[in-house]
């Protein structure tokens, strides 16, 4: 397939590399120009979207997705009618529905496809991709999604909005675990416990999945070259609090832990930095 990838953060770059490895013809665009081996670099999102079958959005948030899709020199300005937009951005369900309506009005197809997993999972092909939209669009996107989930899972969960909602549920769980790591490590230090003992016990605890995956980073204080940044986690946790009127006190506390870390200078650090 001819595929464009708009947004070359770590996930977008890894996704583009996986598409190249899978044999797709890939064009890329990023606000700050970046190169990805084996791809063609476009000067704008509109140019990237021209003469392709699908455009994948890997951007930071809803406003960024709206700007890249609908803004001047955006995807809608260059894509041919019937082009499939695959939005992998984590955003509010209502934002996604609004983007879908705008894409359809512009003659485009729209599928939301947020993912569970980070850069290592993209490279291993083990992502879980949550899709929401028309079944025909899910089928059309399959060759693209397989590039980063061939050893993972693709789960169609309903109409547009459902996948982004589930992604927020998943990231709330991750955020609560990361905030728990933050407090548990500090409690251990305050009680005079050896850090290794604390991490060993946490690995065997309810948050053991997170601690186990991040253990090497935690042992070596290696928080750069993030799999998932503190800023992205903070953004998602704040979004969780904004999308519903339901009281979520634990979510609010986890958001404060993450946003405090951002203010302290850890915005681009891996989320394991919360366990410093």
Interatomic CA distance for residues 189 and 191, integer angstroms: 5
Alpha-carbon distance values, 50 to 3, 53, 83, 96 (Å): 10, 9, 9, 22
C-alpha angle 208/209/215, rounded to 5°?
75
Triad 156, 96, 9: Cα angle to 5°: 90
Among residues 24, 109, 154, 167, the one annotated as catalytic is 167
Burial of residue 126 (CB within 10 Å: 0-12, 13-18, 19+) is middle
CB atoms within 10 A of CB 182: 20
In three-state secondary structure terms, 56 is strand
Q: Kindly report the number of other CB atoms within 10 A of residue 239's CB atom.
A: 21
User: Cα–chain-centroid distance for residue 184?
Assistant: 26
Active site residue 167: yes
Closest by alpha carbon to 13, among 61, 56, 50, 45?
56
Which of the residues are catalytic?
Answer: 167
């Amino acid at each position: 397939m001819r595929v464009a990838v708009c947004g070359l953060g770590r996930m977008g770059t890894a996704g583009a590399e996986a598409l190249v490895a899978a044999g797709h013809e890939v064009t890329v665009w990023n606000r700050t120009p970046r190169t990805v081996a084996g791809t063609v670099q476009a000067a704008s999102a509109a140019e990237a979207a021209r003469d392709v079958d699908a455009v994948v959005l890997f951007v930071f948030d809803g406003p960024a997705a709206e700007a890249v899709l609908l803004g001047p020199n955006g995807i809608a300005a260059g894509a041919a009618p019937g082009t499939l937009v695959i939005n992998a951005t984590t955003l509010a369900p209502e934002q996604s529905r609004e983007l879908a309506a705008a894409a359809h009005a512009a003659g485009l197809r729209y599928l939301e496809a947020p993912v569970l997993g980070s850069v290592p999972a993209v490279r291993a092909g083990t992502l879980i991709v949550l899709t929401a939209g028309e079944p025909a669009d899910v089928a059309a996107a399959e060759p693209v999604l397989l590039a980063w989930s061939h050893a993972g899972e693709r789960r169609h969960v309903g109409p547009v909005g459902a996948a982004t909602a589930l992604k927020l549920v998943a990231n709330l769980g991750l955020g609560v675990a990361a905030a728990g790591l933050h407090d548990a490590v500090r409690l251990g230090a305050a009680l005079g416990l050896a850090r290794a003992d604390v991490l060993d016990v946490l690995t065997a605890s309810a948050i053991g999945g997170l601690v186990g995956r991040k253990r090497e980073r935690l042992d070596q204080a290696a928080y750069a070259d993030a799999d998932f940044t503190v800023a992205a986690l903070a953004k998602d946790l704040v979004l969780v609090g904004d999308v519903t009127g339901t009281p979520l006190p634990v979510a609010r506390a986890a958001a404060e832990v993450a946003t405090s870390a951002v203010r302290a200078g850890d915005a681009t650090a891996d989320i394991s930095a919360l366990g410093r």
